Amino acid sequence: MKKIVILASGNGTNFEAICKYFSKSEKISIIKLITDNKEAQVAERAKILGIDYEIIDYSTFKSKKEFNDYLFDRLKALDFDLMVLAGYMRILPSYIVRYYDNKIINIHPSLLPKYPGVRSIERAYNNKEEYTGITIHYVEEEVDGGRIILQKKLKVDKNWDLAKLEEEIHKLEHQYYPQVIENLLSNSDEDS
Ligand code: GAR
């Protein structure tokens, strides 16, 4: 059985799509959700889906370093094959990224390198891009700069408002993120 840990900060629709996709899998299991945000809807989703979760409340730590050190300790206590960032809105420090070299992936709602960072869908929309899309990539030390695994392009219909564009982007994310995870884990070694 291949094991996944998911990190998320917000709503958790990607988290839910991944959990549902693998709910009956005999090869891949989601062993834990970690969230840095005690208000996040994603924790509620984990509860309903019966997935183990841990809230590491960022606001209770004295510094970013203390938070990240604690997160690192909690991750090291787990045995997993892949760490999946699904709307995790903090930057992982380089010592965590290096330790889990090739084992962390992220999804981003734009065609990177365009629109890195936050509010990417909105910025693409405001710039009246004809195309935007999603990027799934390895997490490396450069933020939003890791090797790209998959990009899917989306033509922006001129009649769409921002909410419709967001909905279309999320649909693509929910469709492709689970598939990419499945492909990565079935192509990795067969020893577990
Ligand atoms: C997703 O659109 C994801 O691509 C984005 O956050 C959203 C989370 O939605 N991630 C980033 O912007 C990372 N820089 P969700 O909580 O409903 O899955």
Q: Is residue 44 part of a domain?
A: yes
The predicted-structure confidence for 135-177, as pLDDT tens digits, reads as follows 999 999 888 889 999 999 999 999 999 999 999 999 999 999 9
Q: Is residue 115 part of a domain?
A: no
12 is in an annotated binding site: yes
Atom of ligand 1 nearest to the CA of 108: 4
Average pLDDT, rounded, for the chain = 96
Domain with 99 in it: 2-109+136-152+174-191
The predicted-structure confidence for 73-97, as pLDDT tens digits, reads as follows 999 999 999 999 999 999 999 999 9
Q: Is residue 8 part of a domain?
A: yes
Contact between 63 and 90 under an 8 Å Cβ cutoff? The reply is no
Residue 185's pLDDT is 97
Residue 143's pLDDT is 85
Report the largest interatomic distance among the alpha carbons of the chain, rounded to a whole angstrom.
50
Lowest mean pLDDT among 123-137, 140-154, 177-191: 177-191
Q: Retrieve residue 100's tokens.
A: 């889990």
The verdict on the CB of residue 10 being under 6 Å from ligand 1 is yes
Q: Whose CA is nearest to atom 2 of ligand 1?
A: 109
Q: Residue 108 catalytic?
A: yes
Q: How many C-beta atoms surround the C-beta of residue 57 within 10 A?
A: 12
Q: Is residue 84 part of a domain?
A: yes
Q: How many C-beta atoms surround the C-beta of residue 150 within 10 A?
A: 15
Q: Retrieve residue 61's tokens.
A: 């730590």
Q: Is residue 15 part of a domain?
A: yes
Q: Is residue 120 part of a domain?
A: no
CATH of residue 184's domain is 3.40.50.170
The verdict on the CB of residue 86 being under 6 Å from ligand 1 is yes
Number of domains, the chain: 1
Q: Is residue 101 part of a domain?
A: yes
Contact between 80 and 5 under an 8 Å Cβ cutoff? The reply is yes
Of the pLDDT bands very low, low, confident and very high (cuts 50, 70, 90), residue 187 is confident
